[in-house]
């Protein structure tokens, strides 16, 4: 592979790594001059991160626009400010009254074109500052809602309060927002416990390697040209 000329890399981002951590590891480990990624993953999410090097960085916008697929788990009855386990729990209510049918009926509200508001703990910039930076300082910000498309939303395992799922969605969809809104619809709250991106367009996580594995393999094979 000629990384400095231009390649598309499929990386399996590890848990608690930022997307930039993964880019930094590969750029430094293989001495790649120009590299970027096509779509941020939250630090607590894992899965497919597409990286482009050299001339292929021109394809980043095209790749970011592709359909995404995720699997994961959310927990009903508890909430956190970040809608995941990055921040402490701030509410808890009973879910004893919920049934599998109640959850399945709620699901219907999250198919097709829906409107959602991104989480306050997100990388969106408002007035030149990332929302998560404002959130960590306790500042409020006006966040505009957006329309996204949910092509498929399957509940793969219902064991209340745990719900495991698979989602196929458009660019710009926040899974944490879906989880938040799902919990609010059921009047019990919810947080995202686990998230893995398994596909971007035709690119699959099955063909990806961890940053450490990738760097080690190409160092052994001779590194970048």
How many CA atoms lie less than 13 Å away from 1 in the CB half-sphere?
A: 21
Q: Is there a catalytic annotation at residue 207?
A: no
What is the predicted pLDDT for the residue at 123? Answer: 64
Query: What is the architecture of the domain spanning 8-65+202-220?
Result: 2-Layer Sandwich (3.30)
Rg (CA), the chain: 19
The two tokens of residue 78 are 């508890």
Q: Which of 2, 12, 21, 42 is catalytic?
A: 42
User: What ranges do the domains of the chain cover?
Assistant: 8-65+202-220, 68-200
pLDDT tens digits, one per residue of 141-173:
667 889 999 999 999 999 999 999 999 999 999
pLDDT tens digits, one per residue of 7-48:
999 999 999 999 999 999 999 999 999 999 998 999 999 999
pTM of the shown model: 0.90
Specify the CATH number for 68-200; select among 3.30.2350.10, 3.10.580.10, 3.40.50.720, 3.40.50.300. Answer: 3.30.2350.10
Q: Is the pLDDT at 82 greater than 60, yes or no?
A: yes
Q: Which residues fall within 8 angstroms of residue 67, CB to CB, at 6 or more apart?
A: 151, 168, 169, 170, 171, 199, 200, 201
116 backbone dihedrals φ, ψ, rounded to 5°: -140, 155
Task: Name the average pLDDT for the chain.
Answer: 91
């Amino acid at each position: 592979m000629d990384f400095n000329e231009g390649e598309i890399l499929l990386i399996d981002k590890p848990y608690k790594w930022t997307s930039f951590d993964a880019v930094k590891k590969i750029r430094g480990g293989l001495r790649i001059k120009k590299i970027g990624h096509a779509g941020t993953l939250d630090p607590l999410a894992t899965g497919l991160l597409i990286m482009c090097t050299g001339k292929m960085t021109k394809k980043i916008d095209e790749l970011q626009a592709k359909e995404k697929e995720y699997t994961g788990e959310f927990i009903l009855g508890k909430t956190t400010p970040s809608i995941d386990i990055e921040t402490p729990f701030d509410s808890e209510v009973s879910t004893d009254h919920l049934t599998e049918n109640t959850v399945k009926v709620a699901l219907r509200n999250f198919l097709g074109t829906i409107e959602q508001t991104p989480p306050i703990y997100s990388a969106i910039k408002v007035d030149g500052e990332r929302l998560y930076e404002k959130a960590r300082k306790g500042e409020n910000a006006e966040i505009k809602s957006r329309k996204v498309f949910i092509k498929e939303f399957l509940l793969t395992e219902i064991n209340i309060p745990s719900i495991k799922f698979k989602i196929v969605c458009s660019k710009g969809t926040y899974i944490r927002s879906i989880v938040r809104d799902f919990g609010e619809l059921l009047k019990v709250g919810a947080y995202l416990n686990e998230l893995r991106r398994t596909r971007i367009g035709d690119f699959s996580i099955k063909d990806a390697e961890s940053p450490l594995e990738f760097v080690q393999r190409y160092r052994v094979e001779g590194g970048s040209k």
